[in-house]
Amino acid sequence: MKLLEYQAHAVFHEYGLPSINGFTATTVDELKEIDGKLPYPVVIKAQVQTGGRGKAGGIQFAENREELLKKGEQVLTMSIKDLPVDKVFVTPKVSVKKEMYLSFTMDRRAKLGILIFSPEGGMEINEIAEATPEKVAKVLLPAGDKLDDFIVQYAADTTGLDPELVPEFKNFCRTLHTVFLQHDCLLAEINPLVLTEDGRLMALDGKVDIDDNALEKHPEIRTMQDEMTENKLVLEARGFDFLYIPIKDSGEIAIVSNGSGMIMSSIDLIAKAGMDCTCALDLGGGATADRIQEALRIVASNPKAQTIFINIFGGITRCDEIARGIQGSLSFIKDKRMVVRLEGTNKEQGLEIIRGLGSGMELVDGLYEGVDALAKGKKL
């Protein structure tokens, strides 16, 4: 789960990490309520789960109330990488002397945490790492909960950090490392970590990505997840332990499958064939008749889903259960085009049930055949 920026700052504040303060708004009326609560100039930041906001125009500066309302409304009506901006984070503009980069993340190959630091930061951190790798320190962390002082010192020394900043930098690292561990993070990042004109270190922007498998341990984070999910179908699907993924407003195809790899393959091949998906739903484990019925009810309630592609593949998945779920969903899907691919235990029994449902079902033998059927629009 990826926290939005304002939520990451809330976590930072909880741990006493020097970080930016601000207010969120979803409407112009809420922007009006912010006026007067912060000193101008202010920064208006789009809250979307993607990078590149600045280059896309999702970060604006306002010198007064008029600009706050005008530019705030402008950001709230834009989309960034096909993601609509539903919320903005308004903060004071900070006078910055220097930008740096700091993060803790997982090195999957080494199966250890890793500290990454550069005294150069900002939007161009990837270019900096490629052009001048000596300015980026990457230090694997020994197993355990302790961040040894020599690790932080090494990161500072090898990248040429000003010695006067090292004591405060060490405190930053220790605190961010605690956030990383206690929130079961895959990533805890500050970019930029800034040195202000008055000589303080501050987290100006933050990313916190939490392992989905650990969310049960963090009910407060689950609450954040629900608060930032505007799509009602996402919330409804979550109640059944499904993952509902909105994809494109222009799409007309809904995918129902079991596994993120299968879903991504389906989306990629459908896109290569010149078509768009409006949504996908990952059933997860236990693809039973009851779960199939709930899944089809949810995706069918998306009015843009004119075609539903059911793509089930599993060694122990009972295809007769899937077929009975489709059979029990006829009232939900009667106006939808159905393309069905089943592979697994009791496949022939499942196909026999689906054939008995009438000509509205298009049976295919595999993923590629399913995409061809979607493209050709003919019964197979």
Catalytic residues: 101, 189
User: ω into residue 142 within 30 of 0, thus cis?
Assistant: no
Provide the residue type at 214 as one letter. A
3-class SS shares of the chain: helix, strand, coil, % to 5: 40, 30, 35
Phi, psi of 73 (to 5 degrees): -65, -35
Running DSSP on this structure, what letter comes out for residue 353? H
Burial class (CB in 10 A: 0-12, 13-18, 19+), 268: exposed
Amino acid present at 309: F
Locate 20 and state its tokens.
Answer: 């930016």
CB atoms within 10 A of CB 156: 20
Q: Confirm if 12 and 64 have CB atoms less than 8 A apart.
A: no
φ/ψ (deg, to 5) at 268: -60, -45
Q: Please tell me whether residue 129 adopts helix, strand or coil conformation.
A: helix
The Cα–Cα gap between 291 and 239 comes to 12
**C-alpha closest to that of 58 among 35, 76, 31, 33:** 76
Residue 64 and residue 137: Cα distance in Å, rounded?
41
Can you read off the two tokens belonging to residue 153?
């010192």
Bridge partner residues of 237 (DSSP): none
